Structure 1
Amino acid sequence: MRLIHTSDWQIGKVFRFADDDVLPVLQHERLEAISRIGRLARAQGADAVVVAGDIYDYTRPAERTLRQPIERMRQFPDLRWHLIPGNHDFHEPDGLWDRLLRTGLPDTILPHLSDDPAPLDAAGTAWVIPAGLGHRHVIGDPTAGMDRSATPEGAMRVGLAHGSVRTFGEDAPDHNVIAIDRARQAGLSYLALGDWHGALRIDARTWYSGTPEVDGFDVGGAGGGQALLVTLDGPRAEPVVESHDVGRFRWRREQAVLTDAAGIEALDARLRAIDRDDPSRVLVRLAVSGALNLTDLECYQTRIVDGLGSALRLLRIDGAPGLAPSPDDLDGFGLAGAVRAAADALVRQTHEGPEDGRDIAAAALQRLYLLARAGDPQSGGGAA
């Protein structure tokens, strides 16, 4: 049989760095990923989709947010969707899972709110052994009961759990920590895990699927944006696991030290190359340093801040190039007169003034430069 392993949808997630234009797009795409997972399952002949926790990002979603992923899954009545609570959407009394049950779910959408094994596929050739969370933090191993879970003779056993196979330092409490060899101990054909947001192989029978739609700059290069196609040929056969891209957005951390126009041009080309066909799929957090003269600083503003900032889905810039006016820059203000005197004074302030006033002086000098260029007929500015 074949199944799709996914997790960490985190529907309703709030991206606090995103503005009002970007946020709803990111949230909507997390729902679109569910439809892509369903189409992948159909195309690959999968019998079921197992979702290893964190379907929602928090325990008290609004009614619309609660129902939206269910409606996406409802569009695939030929698939069985097996869900468990994670640490973000743990099962609490009268919480979101009880609310979901009261809405009247289709028979093909199966929340597992206890640790009782259940048929994974309609024929019962495989059984799911769930280990959802009843609290955000569970002391001990939430999968410990899998060893004792009884399933029919000859059935393939698929564990479904949410947690970590490692602790995070001596001072970190042991919350939701799963035995790294649980698949072997419990006689599992496959153990589908959720919690880590990048796809990760623990051993031949134990995998994290990662989140289907990358949700942070630190996950972009770590296997996020995928779902796993798992082929099981028998209870003891080693599963065949294939990763399939289902995410839309590409998240990147980049850095640049800018000192001249060539560096700006190279940065522009590098960021556009992340996705040449559709730069609106790209979100970049860019760390910028260096120093530019006034001409190049204008180029940086035009090509990177304004140009790429409009082309990419999101360009978040940390830092900025400093200002290092060239003699040609200053000569553009004239060799004498009030404007040149003001420019010279601002240059001195950018180097010698109070620390908290240097950025202001640099911005003022750049503004003065742009105004001077606008009034110079040879620069292409000025009134017609």
Structure 2
Amino acid sequence: MRFVHTSDWQIGKGFRFADDDTLAVLQDQRLEAIGRIGRLARDQGARLVLVAGDAWDMAAPSDRTLRQPVERMRQFPDVHWHLIPGNHDPNLTGGLWERLLRAGLPDNVHAHLSPQPVQLATGAAGREAWLLPAVLDRRHAFGDPTAGMDEAATPDGALRIGLAHGSVRSFGSDPGSAHNLIAPDRARCSGLAHLALGDWHGMVAAGERSWYSGTPEPDGFDRGGDGGGSVLLVSLDDAVPTVVPHRVGRFLWRQERAMLTGRADIDALEDRLRGIDRDDPSRVLAWLTVEGSLGLEDHAAYEDRICAGVGSALRALRIDAARLELTASPDDLASLGTAGALRDAADRLAVRASEQQPDRDIAQAALQRLLFLAAREATTP
């Protein structure tokens, strides 16, 4: 018995930091991942794909967003896809799942909207495999959505496979939350050969028979550790399941920090960012936090080589430079000449910045920026 376990496709997900072009690419790749999953299933001889919730990112997607993943799954008629609602796409009255059923699903796409055991397959030795789906009818359900699996009836000797969306208690869940919490011993109590879980976007084992597959396409800078990008190929027999991760994601999301005090630090930062993927930097999205202090020339080099250069090479470069200071020397002030509006403004700001006033820091920052812009204007053809 072999199948692919995946979850949290989050089709239609919005990325607020992204410009329109980047947003379109990120959303498209979440759809492309479905094709990569289908091809992996074929290549590995797995005719079942279990999707553990949150196939969609919202409860009321547009008609196009609703139908797009279904059409991708339709392209693999020899692979059967089994879906359950998650907390982002719960089975609400009049919601997306009712819309899907009204539109009609392909024969190979199965929506499980009640917690009734469903036969999946019969092996060569005559042993049956049954799916035990847990269904979320609201975004935040109190109680354990998998509790009914203990009493769910299946034929003697059948392989019991759980499919659920929620957070395993005492395993990274928020102690103050009572929503969608799953018992850590559910697989043992319910006699499950495998409990396929969704909700966490990173791949992790919650037990030898309980796994989170993570999202197949990474989608956040703050995931930490395994940020997703894989699906799980699960093989079942009487022993502990064999679970093998397979990478299907395209993008690499990174959080980076740097202390900048001079040109050598800028050189090292540029090399580090470009080195995330030298062959295809367009796969990389980075959130960069910089701090330190740079003079005018070095700050100009930072903006040219990091902000403009690396920022154009990567798919997205998000920068937090709130703690990066621009320092101006007396020579920089002299470069403005001895008279004129710019020199007059600089002198006023310099006096204000030297006084013990509440707005001293603002005056200093304004002076530094004025000098920087004046220097850049002087070197621009």
1:358 equivalent in structure 2: 364
Matched letter for residue 41 of structure 2:
A
Given the alignment, which residue of 360, 368, 373 partners 2:374? 368
In the TM superposition, residue 220 of structure 1 has moved relative to its aligned partner by: 5.7
* Displacement of 1:90: 0.6
- Alignment TM-score, normalising by the size of structure 2: 0.92
What is aligned with 2:161?
158
> What residue in structure 2 maps to residue 216 of structure 1?
220
Cα deviation 1:245-283 (Å, max 9, x = unaligned)? 111111111111111011011101101111111111111
Query: 2: CA distance between counterparts of 1:286 and 1:292?
Result: 17
- Find the counterpart in structure 1 of residue 181 from structure 2: 177
Taking a change above 3 Å as real, the CA distance of residues 21 and 346 of structure 1, as seen in their structure-2 partners, is farther
Q: Please say if 1:135 is aligned against 2:117.
A: no
Corresponding residue to 2:275 among 273, 276, 288: 273
Residue 21 (structure 1) shift: 1.6
Q: 1:305 aligns with which of 285, 304, 307?
A: 307
Could you tell me how far apart the structure 1 residues matched to 2:354 and 2:168 are? 53
1:228–1:337 CA distance, 2 compared to 1 (3 A): same
**How far apart are 1:342 and its partner, in Å?**
6.1
- Structure 1 stretch displaced more, 273-282 or 352-361: 352-361
Deviations 1:98-130 (A, max 9, x none): 110111111210111011111223767311110
2:263 pairs, out of 261, 264, 267, with 261
Could you report, residue by residue, the CA deviation over 1:163-186 in whole angstroms, capped at 9, with x for unpaired residues? 11126455x231111110100001
What runs of 5+ residues in structure 1 fail to find an aligned partner? 375-380
The CA deviation at 1:2 is 1.1
Counterpart of 1:152 in 2: which secondary structure? coil
Identify the residue that residue 146 of structure 1 maps to in structure 2: 149
Map 1:64-75 onto structure 2 (within 5 A). Answer: 64-75=64-75
**Secondary structure, in 3 states, of the residue corresponding to 2:287?**
strand
Deviates more, 1:298-307 or 1:318-327: 318-327
State how far apart, in whole Å, the 1-side matches of 2:314 and 2:165 are: 34
Partner of 2:320: 318
Preserved contact between residue 200 and residue 223 of structure 1 (Cα < 8 Å): no
Whether contact under 8 Å (2:89, 2:96) holds in the other structure is yes
SS of alignment partner, residue 121 of structure 1 = strand
Secondary structure in 2 matching 1:212: coil
Identity across matched positions, percent: 58
Match for residue 192 of structure 1? 196
**Structure 2 equivalent of residue 100 of structure 1:** 100
1:43-122 alignment runs, 5 A limit: 43-121=43-121
Q: Do the aligned residues in 2 keep the contact of 1:346 with 1:361 (CA within 8 Å)?
A: yes
3-state SS, counterpart of residue 269 of structure 1: helix
Partner SS, residue 217 of structure 1: coil
Greater CA drift, 4-13 or 343-352: 343-352
Of 236, 239, 243, 1:237 maps to: 239
- Give 2:91's aligned amino acid: H
In structure 2, list runs of 5 or more residues that go unmatched: none
Return the alpha-carbon distance in structure 1 between the equivalents of residues 191 and 69 of structure 2. 32
Alpha-carbon distance, 1:354 to partner: 3.6
Q: Is the 8 A contact 1:251 1:283 kept in 2?
A: yes
Match of 1:5 in 2: 5
Question: Any idea what SS the aligned residue of 1:151 has?
Answer: coil
Distance in 2 between residues matched to 1:132 and 1:356, nearest whole Å = 55
Q: Aligned-pair RMSD on alpha carbons?
A: 2.0
For residues 288-337 of structure 1, the C-alpha deviation after alignment (integer angstroms, 9 at most, x for no partner) is 11110110011011001111111111111112421122466456556x56
Shift of 1:357: 3.9
SS across alignment from 1:276? coil
Conserved? CA contact 1:346–1:364, under 8 Å: no
In structure 2, relative to structure 1, the CA distance for the partners of 1:350 and 1:254 (3 Å cut) is farther
Contact 2:328–2:368 at 8 Å: present in 1 too? no
SS of the counterpart of 2:133? strand
- How many Å separate the matches in 1 of 2:344 and 2:94? 72
